[in-house]
Amino acid sequence: MRRFCTLFWKNPHSEYFMQKPELKTIWGIVIPAVWNEIGDVVSVAIADYGEEKYLVTDNEAGRKLLSLLRKRVVVDGIVKKQDAVQVIDIKEIRLD
């Protein structure tokens, strides 16, 4: 039991203390994030008006954003922090 307490209750880096995913609404601009070997954009991010960047997960909603590059959007989704990078799993997209 003592080892458990040391690993999980006192360690601020354990999963117990990690940031919980939260539903957020983000206003921003769709920007390219990843390109393939021939220069096509294959993944996007949202740059919000506070200069935060959110990488978009590769799902159906995320792929729809590929056609909205450099457009102003409002997105609702689940935000998680992974290795100091904010990642959003988009649930809804609207033009701003």
Residue-range definition of the domain harbouring residue 81: 19-95
Residue 64, in any domain of the structure: yes
The model's confidence at residue 19, banded by pLDDT at 50, 70 and 90, is: low
Residue 57: predicted pLDDT:
93
If one counts the domains in the chain, the total is 1
Residue 68 lies in a domain: yes
Q: Which candidate, 32, 24, 91, places its Cα nearest to that of 59?
A: 91
Query: Considering the domain boundaries, does residue 90 fall inside one?
Result: yes
The verdict on residue 72 lying in a domain is yes
What's the confidence (pLDDT) of residue 8?
Answer: 41
Q: Is 28 exposed, middle or buried (0-12, 13-18, 19+ CB in 10 A)?
A: buried
Q: Work out the percent of the chain whose per-residue pLDDT is above 70.
A: 80
Judging by DSSP bridges, how do beta strands 85-95 and 41-48 pair with one another? unpaired
Which pTM was predicted?
0.76
What DSSP element (H or E) covers 22? strand 22-35
Specify if 33 maps to a domain. Answer: yes
6 occurs within a structural domain: no
Give per-residue pLDDT as tens, 34-79: 999 999 999 999 999 998 999 999 999 888 999 999 999 999 999 9
Q: What is the CATH number of the domain that holds 72?
A: 2.40.50.200
> Does any domain span residue 71?
yes
The answer to whether residue 1 is domain-embedded is no
